[in-house]
Structures are given as structure tokens and as C-alpha cells.
Amino acid sequence: MSTSIRHIGLSAACRATGRPVGAARQLACLGLLFLAGALQAGVLPEDRADLLYHYYDGGGVRIDGPSVLVRKSIGEDVSLSANYYVDSVSSASIDVLTQASRYSEERKETSLGMDYLHGDTVFSLAWTKSDENDYKATTWNIGISQEVFGGLTTISMGYGRGSDDVGRRNSDFNEPADHWRYRVGVSQILSRNLIVGLDYEAITDEGYLNNPYRRVRYADAGSATGYSYQDELYPRTHDSSAVAIRARYHLPYRAAVTAGYRWFDDSWGITASSFELGYIHPWQRWTFELGYRYYTQNEADFYSDLFPYADAQNFLARDKELSSFSNQSVRVAVGYEVPIRFTDLLERGSINLAYDRYSYDYDNFRDLRATGFAAGSEPLYGFSANVVQLFLSLWF
């Protein structure tokens, strides 16, 4: 049950940041999800159904919606999965309030997957399609994991290919963006209580990679505010890599302590690192979880809160996710195993509630809503966000 709390919680927290997100944060989410999966191999997923409701509120953005995931085995060698996910987004973020108007939209995501078990090897194939009024994305992922040395070591590899269509509301603007993802990992059982996983991921992006709604500001003495705006302009290519290590230690009284560290670097000049600690404690039918995560990064080479003049350089960005900032999050989760006695079709069930509190502090992104300040001297921006996930799991 604790595994389901962690996995679905990470999925919702990552998705809840919304689209588009900064490259570093997007990869941080993907890396955590991949690492969580890499610590398990050699067996097919259990037959189960999960119903999730998630809610995100922070930084002027509110996102909520349901998700349904069903997994079913065919014989002893094949497991199929299907997932349907909906995000309802209402945004009045600082970018929207200072450069555009509030908006609401809905994103729908459909995923299909298959796992095939052959001996100690698991082959995986997954397809995902995401659709909203100004952004469409399709992704294919394949993976393989192999247990060796009597099941003490698991080696995994993966490849992903994504193709996006970037649009802009109320216009005929349309640009493509392509993505390639390569993953390799190893997990090792070091003792009866300790398992450690090490993962490497490389991503190449090509095409239109910035936000068609966002603009940068530059100093303009002729403007009443002291600055004017022009459109963002990003490079057409982006390469990044990340290394993550994660460990889980099982305590004598069935509890477990988890720890992880992740390092990220990309061709845009961003270097980031994060670490996390967690504690999982089962008690009778209950499972309790506590977690903490800290993340920090420097700014991209072409980022500036205030450029000195128009067209100051070849590439221009004022996306706060490409600035220098830090983030802390605290997680509290509880799960309860529900007795099922009214039908033989279901083996067991659980109901789970998770709460995450995020705090963001930006080092060089300023709050333009503040008045009475000279351009470039406005207060630095920061915000907090709350994420709640409530989900029901049924095994059959």
C-alpha cells in the first residue's frame, strides 16, 4: 500500500505543475517516477484499479480532476493497463496577471500500456496522448528490465519518443516540438533490509520549446513603467542529463526509511540538484508516510528578469522556471486497507489521502504586481502551493 501512495502521489504532483513547465522541474518529476519504478522488476504489476482525485492550488493556478487506472493480466506473461486523466485548469498566475488575462482550460490524457514477462525479463510498451485546446502531445515509451545474480540485481533500460503540436488560443499559430528520452538504471539488494537504485537519463528536445504566450521585459526609459515587452525566443534544441540515486532501508518493525539525491545539467546552462527523505510506517491496517524534498537550481544562460534593451541577445527568456530558485516540499500521507467481504471478485482494497506543501523562492524573478518601485528593484517573487490527492485502490 505504501508503494501506491508514493507512485500516485508523485504522478499527481508532477502533473499538477501544469503545462508548460520549466525543463528542470519537468525532468525532476520524470526522474522521480522512473526511479520509483526502477526499484521493482522481475514480476508483472498486480491486477488492480485506481481511482484518483487530485487538487492543486498555488501561485494563482488551480488544477483539479480525476484519474482512472486499470491493470489486468492475460495469462501469466502479459499485463495490460489503461489510464484516463483529466486536468481542469484555472490560471491567474503572475505571468498571466502581468501579461495577459485569466483563462480556464481542460487537458485530457489517455495512456495504454503492456508489460510482457519472459523468465526474469520484463518488456514494457506504453503510449500516451494528451490533448488541450492549444497543446497536443503524443509519446511512446519502451523499456526492458532484467534480473541477474539470482534476483539481487536488476538492470533496466528505456527509450521514449514524443511529438508535440504547440498552438496559441484564438490564432492559427502552430509549431512542432520533438523529444527523445534515453534511460538506464540498476538496482541492487545489498542486504535483507537495504536496496539501492542508480539511474541515468538523457533527453534531447528539438523544435518550438518556449511558451507562445510569455514575453520578456527590457529597460525602456520612454515607458511609464520603465520597461517594455517583447516575445520570448528560445534555442530550437535542448539537451539534458540527470543522475539519481535512491535507497530504501527496511526497519525491524516493518517500517522503512527512504533517501534520494538527483543531479541535473543541461545545454541551456542550468545545473540543479535535489534530495529527499521519507519515512513509511505500517500499523495494523494503516500506513503512514512522511517526506521532505529540497530542490535548487541556477538560471539559464539566456534568462534575465530585465534585459538592458530590446533584442539584447540572440535568445531571450523570462520564464521563472528558468531563473535561479529553490523549492522545499513536505509530504504527509495516510492509507487504510479496506476489508472486502461482500464479493469474491475483489481481493482487497485501500483508501489513501496524501497532502504536499510546496514553497518556492525565486532569487532573480521579480513581482511586477508591486507598484512604486523602479524597474528591476521590485520585490522578489515567491509562492506556496498545496496538493491534495485522494484515491481508492482495488485489487482483483
Q: Please state at what angle helix 23-38 crosses helix 2-15, rounded to 10 degrees.
A: 160
Query: Which tens digits make up the pLDDT trace of 97-145?
Result: 787 667 788 999 999 999 999 999 999 999 999 999 899 999 999 999 9
Q: Of 377, 364, 274, which Cα lies nearest the Cα of 319? A: 364
* Residue 151 confidence (pLDDT): 86
H runs (alpha helix) in the chain: 2-15, 23-38, 94-99
Place of cell 498545496: 386
Percentage, residues of the chain above pLDDT 90: 77
Mean pLDDT estimate for the chain: 88
* Residue 306 confidence (pLDDT): 97
pLDDT-derived band at 24, boundaries 50, 70, 90: very low
* Residue 27 confidence (pLDDT): 32
Query: Which tens digits make up the pLDDT trace of 209-230?
Result: 999 989 999 999 999 999 999 9
What is the mean pLDDT of the segment spanning 322-328?
97
* Residue 100 confidence (pLDDT): 65
Flag whether pLDDT at 396 surpasses 80.
Answer: yes
Burial label, 241 (beta-carbon count in 10 A; 0-12, 13-18, 19+): middle
Q: Which residue has the higher pLDDT, 284 or 32?
A: 284
pLDDT-derived band at 352, boundaries 50, 70, 90: very high
Query: Which tens digits make up the pLDDT trace of 287-324?
Result: 999 999 999 999 999 999 999 999 999 999 999 999 99
Q: Of 392, 389, 396, which Cα lies nearest the Cα of 10? A: 389
pLDDT-derived band at 95, boundaries 50, 70, 90: confident
**Which helix (H) or strand (E) is 216 found in, with range?**
strand 215-219
pLDDT-derived band at 2, boundaries 50, 70, 90: very low
Per the CB < 8 A criterion, the answer to whether 311 and 230 are in contact is yes
* Residue 101 confidence (pLDDT): 63
Flag whether pLDDT at 88 surpasses 60.
Answer: yes
* Residue 339 confidence (pLDDT): 84
Query: Which tens digits make up the pLDDT trace of 41-86?
Result: 568 889 999 999 999 999 999 999 999 999 999 999 999 999 999 9
Q: What is the pTM of this model?
A: 0.86
* Residue 341 confidence (pLDDT): 74
Residues present in the chain in total: 396
At residue 8, the 3 state secondary structure works out as helix
What is the mean pLDDT of the segment spanning 3-25?
35
CATH superfamily of 2-395: monomeric porin ompg (2.40.160.40)
Flag whether pLDDT at 331 surpasses 90.
Answer: yes
Domain segments of the chain as ranges: 2-395
How far the first Cα of the chain sits from its last, in Å, is 15
Query: Which tens digits make up the pLDDT trace of 226-282?
Result: 999 999 999 999 999 999 999 999 998 889 999 999 999 999 999 999 999 999 999
